[in-house]
Chain A
Amino acid sequence: MTLWLMAGLLFTPLAWAVLTLLMNFTWGRLVTWVGIVVQVLVSLGLWLAVSRDGGFYYGLGGWEAPLGIELRVDGLAVTFVLLTAVVASACGWHAGVYIDADKPWHRYFWPLFWFLWSGLNAVWLGGDLFNLYVGLELISLSAVGLVALGGKAGALRASIRYLLAALLGSLAYLLGVALIYGQFGTLSIAGVVFWLEEHPVPAGSSLALALMVTGLALKTALFPLHRWLPPAHGIAKSPVSALLSALVVKASFYIAARLWLELGEPLGNLAAAQLVGLLGSAAIVWGSWLACRQLELKQVVAYSSVAQIGYLFLLFPLTYSVSESVTLQAQQGITLQVISHALAKAAMFLAAGNLILSTGSSRVDALKGVSRFLPFSLFSFGLAGVSLMSLPPSGGFAAKWLLLQASLGSGQWWWVLVLLVGGLLSAAYVFRIYRASFLESSETDHFYHPPRSLEIIPMILALLSLGLGLVSAEVLSVMALPFEEEGSP
């Protein structure tokens, strides 16, 4: 059963990419919706299977590492697979209604969407360094294609900038992979870790980790390498922005985090860990500050992503040479932050898209006076904002709580200040939007109510993100499952 689920998980997005490539937009939408159901069921099935029986390695083509490529199917990976299924299906559903079916080039939205999905799954499950590179490129190229789809000069400029940044990041990562292979003769992360456990650290391989992490940080838009993100996320169509902010940047971060957790202790050093944390903190402050100053709604949300990504990088200092319980808290906190930010940010972008559709303008001050029309999307936007401000009971709050505990527990109290100030700064830009919408204005006299289905999707995502905090113990317990180290099932 598990084997079939795995095959289904890998096959469906790729197959649907081909299927939808052969159709026009309307048919593609129909087929995609069927595919979404299949993929969600498969992801859910796999998640249930893993939460019942524990994780395993899945050797593709029947070959085991190091000769073949092994997928690492553990609690964390399947949780992210499930998260991807939830967010991507929400975006796919939304896009089907939101995107104009009459433009001929929009038919290419669907294949790119499915390729993106398959790339994400490849990254969550990947256990092979080079395979992760291919997965990353799959994601980057389809994401760039989606940003550029049918766009004007502005969108093209953003996507070129995005592409160049992504390519440079991938190359840096690949160079690190080359060094690792040169050193260890294997591409399997588990193989490298296994060897390092029993042998002294060979000289010269720290650079490999540094290169990989730097490249991935560039792809994740860590300050000061974040300049490409806001234009790309701000200018893309809202469902695309949602996908990019919610999932795509998380993919590269996920690899970086996995590498750091596995190899950071032998290959990293304290200064580097603190430096990464410092850059993350700078991202939180700088991103929030810029978010406060944006005039366009989606730019606010995009800069907020820069800030929220900063939190993720606190993982590095909080897991380097600290006690096991602190490491665990930091990991759990970051995992919750990834999940809750993914849900909240997707909700926010989709809601922002609806609001732009309703008011006919992409500017923040266009929200003036709309509250009398009871804009449902504004409410979703606000709820998602609660999670971004990491106020209870959202998942963001649970994440912040765990990170606070980790910082206090490891004696690195300076991150406590960052976390608290970051929360207040995010409140500053979220409340700016609230404020704009509460302003009464007699000038606003029309308001287009988007179709119900468009409005419900961001609400569901926002509620999920908000409720995540209440069930975070259960969600995290799946990740702590025993992992079966030996062979395939």
Chain B
Amino acid sequence: MMRALQTLVMALACLAFTGVLATSIWTISGNPTPVNLTQLLTENMGRSGVEHPVTAVLLNFRSYDTLLEIGVLVIAGIAGISMAKTASLEDPAMRTSDSLLYALQRWFVPLMLVLAGYLLWAGADRPGGAFQAGAVLAATGVLMRLGGSPMEFLRPGLMLRLGLALGFTVFLLVAVASAIGGDAFLAYPPGMTKALIVVIETVLTLSIAMVLLALFVSAPVNDAEDPEEGAPS
């Protein structure tokens, strides 16, 4: 009875919320926006170093967002591997010996690798970019993992951590390089914008894939634990 009442109240509250939100959206959609960012963006595209506006926003105009966002991803990776089994990643339960999966893997893995490369390359002038490519790359890894490839490099060790940090580090070094030269943080040196963005995108692809894969792999947990403060250990 209580639960039903609770449900009803919650449902009504959420319904009301939806209603208010929709009304607000409807009202706002009738107002003109005072700032036309799209136009500003188009005017500055020439200085952005890439042709595709989304990529320009992500890696140039609002690159600080992207830098921090990779940070968020790395944090998730760190928190994930901090709970992983350190001894071995081999979890027999995760292995399958399905022949269909095996066949699928043989066909798909190369294809997916190519796709990832394409997405990365496409990012410069059409939809695509590091995230999409990284996600596909990670999916490839997941497939291989499910198919039973050991993937020793994912063991929480220096290699994994280097991989996690690689993209972020390169991005950060580029960001600070121009600042040392007296320009703003995250500014690209003139003339090198395009090259640097490509480099960043490439390493980011690798790192993003690595983080996602590490999070997938770190699902088995270690049993060792800290005693709580003050508890007898």
Contacts and interface: CB of A to CB of B under 8 A. Distances in A.
A58 B183 CA distance: 11
Contacts of B76: 141, 145
Given A3-B179, A22-B158, A134-B72, A182 B165 contact: no
B40 A105 contact: no
Interface in A93-108: 100, 103-105, 108
B68 A119 contact: yes
A105 B86 CA distance: 9
Interface in B120-172: 158, 161-162, 164-165, 168-169, 172
Interface stretch (A73-81, A149-157, A420-428): A149-157
A60 B185 contact: yes
B172 to A, nearest CB: 6
Interface in B208-233: 222, 224-232
Contacts of B60: 61, 63
Contacts of A21: 74, 78, 161, 164-165
A59 interface: yes
Contact of B72 (A60, A105, A137, A179): A137
A18 B168 contact: yes
Interface string B68-89: 1101101110110111001000
A103 B79 contact: no
Contact of A11 (B74, B161, B162, B176): B176
A130 B65 contact: yes
B188 A61 contact: yes
A451 interface: no
A344 interface: no
B187 interface: yes
Contacts of A151: 225-226, 228
A86 interface: no
B182 interface: yes
B13 interface: no
Q: Which of B21, B62, B175 is packed against the most chain A CB atoms within 10 Å?
A: B62
Nearest to A58: B184
Q: Secondary structure of the A side of the interface?
A: helix
A199 B32 CA distance: 12
Contacts of A3: 179, 182-184
B108 interface: no
A67 B47 CA distance: 12
B165 A69 contact: no
Contact of B184 (A61, A130, A356): A61
B64 interface: yes
A185 B33 CA distance: 5
A61 B186 contact: yes
Interface of A: 3-4, 6-7, 10-11, 14-15, 17-18, 21-22, 58-63, 66-69, 100, 103-105, 108, 111-112, 115, 118-119, 122, 130-131, 134-135, 137-138, 141-142, 144-145, 148-152, 154-155, 175, 179, 182-186, 191, 195, 199, 202-205, 207-208, 235, 237-238, 298, 353, 356-357, 359-363, 488
Given A22-B158, A60-B184, A68-B61, 14 more contacts: A3-B184, A11-B185, A22-B162, A61-B64, A105-B83, A112-B79, A141-B75, A145-B79, A145-B82, A184-B34, A195-B35, A204-B31, A205-B24, A363-B230
Interface of B: 20-21, 23-29, 31, 33-37, 40-41, 44, 60-65, 67-69, 71-72, 74-76, 78-79, 81-83, 86, 158, 161-162, 164-165, 168-169, 172, 175-176, 179-180, 182-188, 222, 224-232
5 contacts: A145-B78, A152-B226, A202-B28, A238-B229, A357-B229
